[in-house]
Amino acid sequence: MSTKRVILDCDPGHDDAFAIMLAVQHLDVLGITGVGGNSPLGNVTRNALTVLEAIGHADDVPVYAGCSRPMVAELVTAPMFHGKSGLDGHHRPAPTHEVQRGHAVDFIVDTVMGTDDVTLLATGPLTNVAEALNREPRIADRISEICIMGGSVTFGNWTPAAEFNILVDPEAAARVFNSGIHVKMTGLNLTRQCGFTSETVRRFREIGTQASEFAADLTEFFTSAGRRLDDPTVACMHDACAAAWLIGPTLIRSAPMHIDVELSGKLTRGMTVCDYRHLCGPHPECDIERDAQTGYKGDDPNAEAALELDYDGYLKLVYDTLARYQ
Ligand code: BDR
Ligand code: CA
């Protein structure tokens, strides 16, 4: 296991489930915090426990319930992709473990203030993280970085401009991107490269463990519900990519950028506005050769945007991980 200490904030969710399965095996997961998103809060915390029981780690990873609704907007959920339960398609019994006492926001604040070098991995709306920053602003200086699935360098999915996690709570996302914490953004432009197919399901079944059967059931459901309209045989396990980036930094090629969140646009609320002018030429400070040698030295990048996935390496990580769970 890596010594990277992580709090995983999520809204499981099929792809969140894969983020959990990857993170628990390869990172030091201090706790999982649930946030209202794909499904109401009660569902997502129960689903986190279901995933942990399926992989045999419910005794060593505590689960906390956090914010049930966004900071300003009403909660939007995604039953059309994740089913009524938020994690339809598996055959596990109801979990026997319970959510911890105490609020997820307090858990995040107390853990970060009491533990050096904590990384946040956030794969749902950023409400819990923003509320933690509001409650204890000093956590911004103590968090190593935050790796999110959310946003996009290019297109949206919930609206033409906005990705679901950011659109559900844009005010929270703006708080995080402007917090001073370095953000690794695993956006849709990256996660659409990570498709799972019927071949993926076949490989999971071939592994034949309790965890891989669970993964196969989830993927089968998500492949029929969460598929890409341009290629109905593919479902993108978005959130797993963010976990994979922390586990294997070379699995993803990225670029530094300044990223902020649009809060008021009639067509663009929730859009992650990415300044990538240095990648396409007309940026006044662009110097491709210098940037290739020294890294980007333009205006104040607050984030690193994921651009290109090593798909084979990513799939190998997923298969190897599932094979190691009993
Ligand atoms: C994101 O939205 C959710 O439905 C998924 O779990 C993922 O975090 C993709 O836009
Ligand atoms: Ca999610």
Mutate which of 16, 149, 157, 189 for ligand 1? The one with the most ligand atoms within 8 Å of its CB, which is 149
Q: Which carries the bigger pLDDT value, residue 262 or residue 277?
A: 262
Mutate which of 20, 38, 80, 185 for ligand 1? The one with the most ligand atoms within 8 Å of its CB, which is 38
On the question of pLDDT at 74 being above 80, the answer is: yes
Q: Check residue 283 and give its pLDDT.
A: 53
Q: Which carries the bigger pLDDT value, residue 322 or residue 277?
A: 322
How does residue 1 score in pLDDT terms, banded at 50, 70 and 90?
A: very low
Q: Are strands 252-261 and 227-228 parallel, antiparallel or unpaired?
A: unpaired
Q: Check residue 110 and give its pLDDT.
A: 98
Q: Check residue 266 and give its pLDDT.
A: 92
Please report which ligand is nearest the Cα atom of 186: 1
> For residue 124, how far is its CA from the centre of ligand 1 (angstroms)?
7
Q: Check residue 9 and give its pLDDT.
A: 99
Q: Which carries the bigger pLDDT value, residue 226 or residue 276?
A: 276
Q: Check residue 274 and give its pLDDT.
A: 95
Instruction: Assess whether the C-beta atom of 16 lies below 6 angstroms from ligand 1.
Output: yes
Nearest CA to ligand 1 atom 2: 164
Of 137-141, 205-209, 222-226, the one with minimum mean pLDDT is 222-226
The tens digit of pLDDT for each residue in 112-133 reads 999 999 999 999 999 999 999 9
Atom of ligand 1 nearest to the CA of 191: 9
Q: pTM of the prediction?
A: 0.93
Instruction: Assess whether the C-beta atom of 149 lies below 6 angstroms from ligand 1.
Output: yes
Instruction: Assess whether the C-beta atom of 13 lies below 6 angstroms from ligand 1.
Output: yes
Q: Check residue 223 and give its pLDDT.
A: 85
12 near 51, Cβ under 8 Å?
A: yes
What gap in Å lies between CA 177 and CA 261, rounded to an integer?
A: 8
Catalytic positions: 238
> Average pLDDT over the chain, rounded to whole?
93
